[in-house]
Amino acid sequence: MEAVKSQNSRILKYILVIFLGSILLTISSKIKIPFYPVPMTMQTFVVLFLGMSFGYRVGLATVSLYLVEGIMGLPVFSNSPEKGVGFVYFTGPTMGYLIGFLFATFLAGYFNFKGNILNNFIKLLISVSTIYILGFFWLGNLIGWDKPIMQLGVTPFLL
């Protein structure tokens, strides 16, 4: 009986952590510098924080919940509800970045951040690069490769 209580308590704790992480990610999406076509937000920091703090399993569950909330129409994304909600907004210019959040969270949660600061920096750089790489390719496919994709979707975030 005690083992069942312990198991239920642990599951409840994970559900609460995932839910609170999703709220944190939503709040970070609203802290933004308006920019076109992709706004600058605090989400990248929070995505890496979730992966490093919660590990890749709980981190992925948290980011997945956030994405599902947005696809279902909750105004969790950075420009929602002003520029739309749900699946239509999700498949807009930011979709590659949003999918990149999953990969970055996985990597940040998977890597072991102990020891050498340079190694930790490189691991974080690899993690965050997945966001920009996927965002770059999605944005290019969406608005056309004849546009300055690098200047619109990557360079502003590197400064």
**pLDDT reported for residue 6:** 84
Q: Which fold has domain 2-158?
A: Arp2/3 complex 21 kDa subunit ARPC3 (1.10.1760)
User: pTM for the complete prediction?
Assistant: 0.89
**pLDDT reported for residue 111:** 93
Give the start-to-end residue ranges of the domains of the chain: 2-158
**pLDDT reported for residue 159:** 62
**Regions of the chain short of the pLDDT cut 70:** 1, 159
Strand partners, 32: 41
**Torsion 20-103-158-140 (CA) sign:** negative
Alpha carbon of 125 to those of 12, 130, 131: distances in Å?
33, 9, 10
**pLDDT reported for residue 113:** 84
With H, G, I as helix, E, B as strand and everything else as coil, classify residue 48.
helix
Q: Which residues contact 152 (CB under 8 A, 6 or more apart)?
A: 36, 37, 38, 139, 143
Q: pLDDT of 70-86, one tens digit each?
A: 999 999 998 887 777 88
